Amino acid sequence: EVEERSTQGDSTNLFDHDDAVWSVDWSSTGLQIASGSIDGTVRIWDAASGNQLQVITTGVTSTVAWSPDGTKLAYNTASGAITIIPAPDIPTPTPAFTATLSAPTATQMPTSTANYLP
């Protein structure tokens, strides 16, 4: 369940993942929500309606993060891969960047003052 605090508690339930959701991130534009799950998918949702816009088959995903300007979405997988896709390509995602890390990593989330995504 995602609750919009600015509207005094209106909420939207986002269904369709088949297993636990490990990460949710709201785009800075306020238009989309991304969720990553151990069901092997990243899902993009319309924030206003709660409608699912896209399913990306990724493998187990523990982190999703929008870039601060809302133009890119990054997600990682259990294999150590980090993929960044441009937001305009979300209907048919084409990776803008993929990296495979050889050691465990901690989650790094972008902020409005520091841009961690290219």
What local confidence, expressed as pLDDT, does residue 87 receive?
76
- Alpha-carbon span 77 to 81, nearest angstrom: 5
Total-model pTM: 0.68
Residue at 112 is within a domain: no
Residue at 83 is within a domain: yes
What local confidence, expressed as pLDDT, does residue 5 receive?
47
Say how many Å lie between the first and final Cα of the chain, rounded: 30
**Residue whose structure tokens are 């187990």:** 60
Higher per-residue confidence, 93 vs 25: 25
Of residues 2, 85, 97, 84, the one with CA closest to residue 45: 2
Indicate which CATH number applies to the domain containing 46: 2.40.10.480
Instruction: HSE, CB side, 13 Å, CA atoms: give it for residue 40.
Output: 2
Residue at 111 is within a domain: no
Domain count, the chain: 1
Partners of 102 in beta bridges: none
7: three-class secondary structure by DSSP: helix
Residue at 79 is within a domain: yes
Residue at 107 is within a domain: no
Q: What single-letter amino acid sits at 30? A: G
- The whole domain housing 71 covers 2-100
Higher per-residue confidence, 68 vs 115: 68
Q: Give the pLDDT confidence of 32-80 residue by residue, as tens digits.
A: 888 888 888 888 888 888 888 888 888 888 899 999 988 899 999 888 8
- Alpha-carbon span 75 to 73, nearest angstrom: 7
